[in-house]
Amino acid sequence: MVDNNSQDDTAAVVRQFQRDWDSPAPLQYVFEPEQGLAHARQCGVEQARGIHIGFLDDDNWPAENWVAAAAKFGQTHPQAGAYGSRIQGAFETPPDETVEPLLSFLAIRDHGDRAYEFQPTQIELPPGAGLTVRKAAWLACIPKTLVNITRSGNDYEISLRMAKRGWEIWYNPEMKVEHFIPNSRLQREYLLKLTHLYGLCTCKLLIV
């Protein structure tokens, strides 16, 4: 658990969980003073002891077998540097048809029942939500300071950098995740801002 310089009682809450923790997988606490998703992820990867590292957001609801499915896929696809989940929306209110073409910007990615390799050169990439990375690929390809540290830019840059170094980027339908989408994220103003940021970060990454 990376404490990204939280100003609340995060550390105390984690200590309480550690006292009551009953699992063969230890609950570790790490403090990262530099705030931001990219810094927190980098810290987590450096501290992790496993071969594969999974990223889940607080609004991601993984299936019970998500960790097992991620580990199995990594073992059977040794050239996969990163691979994304099958993500379906759990909407507070069902979206209308005008919003449906934009759902991929909300990290809703259901590409069917068959695993397949993404095409990074066409900016066909998995989101950071539900993403699993191979630690060796991350350490070899991802610098401590990324070109774009915005949320969407960070997600895409991870996969692009790995792909440029020869690693494969995959979709794994066995890693199932529900992504909770509140009504606020379906509003026109939010979607306009979100798609604008994706466009800017994608252009910047392609230029670099």
Query: 79-92: per-residue pLDDT in tens?
Result: 999 999 999 999 99
Strands 168-181 and 52-55 turn out to be unpaired
Strands 116-117, 168-181: pairing is antiparallel
Do residue 114 and residue 193 come from a single domain? Answer: yes
Per the structure, the count of domains in the chain is 2
Q: Distance (Å, rounded) from C-alpha 94 to C-alpha 96?
A: 7
Residue 90 domain flag:
yes
pLDDT in tens, 128-144: 999 999 999 999 999 88
20 lies in which domain range? 1-35
Same domain membership, residue 104 and residue 22: no
* Predicted pLDDT at 37: 86
Task: Say whether both 94 and 131 belong to one domain.
Answer: yes
